[in-house]
Structure 1
C-alpha cells in the first residue's frame, strides 16, 4: 500500500502497463527493442535493437549508466552495428567480428551505440551463472524498462530510488566513475534501496504487471 504522503514525496505512474506476458518490450522514448529468447543450450538471452534513427540512440544514451553486477559475469555478442563499452577505465568499440565480449563480475561498465555506427545496433546480452536468486535476469529488465517507459508515457521523471531498489534486488548497482571499495558501494546502495526507496517511499522490488511468474521465462 502506498500512502498519499509517499506519492507527494515521490510521484510514480498511476497505472502500470502489463508487459509480463509480452515476448518483446520497448524502451522509453522508443529507443530500443528488447526480445527475450532461449538459446539451444537453455540459456536465456536478450536481443537488443537500438534504433539508429532515434536521437536518444545517436546521442549515446540508450544504454544504462555506469554500473556493476557483483554476482554475475555479463556477455555481449554483436550481430549488427558497433557497440561502445566502457570496461573500468577502458573504452571498447566492438562489432560482430569481435565475437563474445566478457565483463567479469565486479567490473564497472556501461554500453551504448557507438558514434561510429551508421545503422541499428543489434546484439545479444546475457549473464552467468543463471537461475540464481537476486540476479540480473529477464524480470529485472522487464521491471527496469517497464517502469521507465511508464514514467515517460505519463510525463514523470523516474525516481532514482526506485531504480536503485530494482537494481540492488538484482545484484546490480550504479557506481561513480572513480574506484570505491565494493563493500562500501554496496552499503550505500543498500541504504538507498531498502531504507529510503522501500521503507520510506513505499517502492517495491518488482511489480506484477511487469514480472513473469516463472524465473525461466525466455521464449523458445
Structure 2
C-alpha cells in the first residue's frame, strides 16, 4: 500500500498525536525566519509513544541561532552553559548534555541556542496543565531577498516534518530514515551525539545527512525536502522581513 500524504498545507495550524500538541505560526520579526507557537494541553497526559513523535531528536543547527520562550507552563531544555534549576517546570531543555527546566514564571523564561550546540527540548512530564512555547530562529545567512522561501529552520521545515510524522502514525508506518535526514539536511540541521569531540561529531552527522538523506533519500529513493501537500508557499509563507 502506497504512502498517502494528508493535505495539511490548507490548515493554519497542525494537530499532532490526537491533540497532545497544537502548532501554529505567526509572522516572525525582522531578521528571523520563523515564529512557531506550540501548545500542549496537558503535558502529564502525553504517552511514551506520543513523546517519541513529539520530542525532537538531539540535533544542532549549522548556521542559525534558535530562541525558545516559555509563555505558559514549564519546559526542560539541555544547553551546557545553563545549570539545573529546581522549580515547577513546564519545559525541559537539553543543551550540550545538561538538562535545564524553564517555567513561564521564571525571571527569564527564554533560552538561546547558538549554532553548533547540540540540544533538544520537551514538555515536563511531571507538569499537570497546559504548556505553551514560542520557537524562533534567526534567518539563515544563506537566505537572501532572491530566495523563494527561507532556508534553514522555517515554517516549511516544521510543516513537512510534523505532517509526515503524523501521517506515519496514522498509517502505522515507521518513518523513513532517509526521508527524515533529508528534511533535516534541507533545513541546515544535523543529528547530534554526545560522543567524542564536538567537531568530529559534527563532521560525522553532517556526512550522514548528506549521504543517507540528500544522496540516497533524495537522489536514489526520490524523496523530497518539501511536499505541496504539507507546505505550499502561496498558502503558508508568512511575510518576513529579511
Q: TM-score, normalised by structure 1?
A: 0.84
Which one of the candidate residues 12, 26, 29 is aligned to 1:37?
Answer: 26
Which one of the candidate residues 206, 215, 218 is aligned to 1:195?
Answer: 215
Separation in structure 2 between the aligned mates of residue 219 and residue 22 of structure 1, nearest angstrom: 17
1:91 aligned to 2:99? yes
Which one of the candidate residues 80, 104, 116 is aligned to 1:106?
Answer: 116
- Structure 2, gaps ≥5 residues long: 76-91, 144-149
1:147 aligned to 2:164? yes
SS in structure 1 at match of 2:26: strand
Note the 1:11-160 alignment, pairs <5 A.
Answer: 13=3, 15-39=4-28, 43=32, 44-52=34-42, 54-56=45-47, 60-61=51-52, 62-83=54-75, 84-96=92-104, 97=106, 98-129=108-139, 132=143, 133-160=150-177
Aligned residues: 209
SS in structure 1 at match of 2:233: coil
Separation in structure 1 between the aligned mates of residue 66 and residue 38 of structure 2, nearest angstrom: 14
C-alpha deviation, 1:51, in angstroms: 3.2
Separation in structure 2 between the aligned mates of residue 107 and residue 128 of structure 1, nearest angstrom: 15
Q: After superposing the two structures, state which structure 1 stretch, 149-158 or 112-121, moved more.
A: 112-121
Considering only aligned residues, what root-mean-square deviation do their CA atoms show, in Å? 2.7
Once superposed, which parts of structure 1, at least 4 consecutive aligned residues long, lie more than 6 Å away? none
C-alpha deviation, 1:202, in angstroms: 1.8
Deviation by residue 1:3-45 (Cα, 9 ceiling, x = unmatched):
xxxxxxxx862x2111223211112443211011125658541
Separation in structure 1 between the aligned mates of residue 175 and residue 50 of structure 2, nearest angstrom: 20
C-alpha deviation, 1:129, in angstroms: 2.3
Conserved 8 A contact 1:37-1:219:
no
SS in structure 2 at match of 1:38: coil
SS in structure 2 at match of 1:106: coil
The equivalent of 1:174 in structure 2 is 191
- Structure 1, gaps ≥5 residues long: 1-10
